[in-house]
Amino acid sequence: MHELARHAIHSSETLAVAVETMIGLIQEHEIFLNDNASLLVVSIAQSKQTMRVLRSQTALLKCLNLRSKALEERLRNEISLAFNTVAQHDSHIAVLVGKATQIDSAAVKTISVLGLAFLPGTFICALFSTSFFNFSPGSGTDPQHWTISEKFWIYWAVAIPLTVATVACWFMWQRLNSSLR
């Protein structure tokens, strides 16, 4: 399209020069007729006919020049429309990418919250060396069985408050970050 616009601009420039040339030609023809009226063997009718043709050609060139300028403007509008259409399409794609990123962000956030919920309990288990459970295989008349330590409540007494505190800190940090944006 830019190539067409370049040709339209060139046509407008050429036609504008042609119009100016015709106007100059008419002026010179009038000067010639006024200066050499007595020397001319040409009839007045032929001079008027020549002037009519020159004016007619000038009018035709002016019309072509106006048409060329209108075409130039249409091409500018078409180029602008094409540019805006591409920009709109790019914006639509950016919105889709943004939505996909938002979905991915929500998934990552969910995984992070799950990690926050289970990490303190896992830490406490490692700290206490998981000695709260004992498995006794059966022997002879004794069946196999699991036993839980009497101090198992300590695990819950430490793990639950630590988990709540960790998740609460994370939520406060999220609110602080969202309020700063």
Predicted pLDDT at 156: 85
- 87, 15: one domain: yes
Give the count of domains, the chain.
2
Domain extent for 137: 101-180
Mark whether 85 and 140 lie in a shared domain.
no
Which three-class secondary structure state does DSSP give residue 44? Answer: helix
Decide: 117 and 168 in contact? Cβ < 8 Å.
Answer: no
Average pLDDT over residues 13-28: 93
The span from the CA of 139 to the CA of 104, in Å, is 54
83 and 9 in a common domain: yes
Identify the pLDDT of residue 42. Answer: 67
Q: Is the pTM of this model over 0.85?
A: no
Q: Return the higher-pLDDT residue of 93 and 139.
A: 93
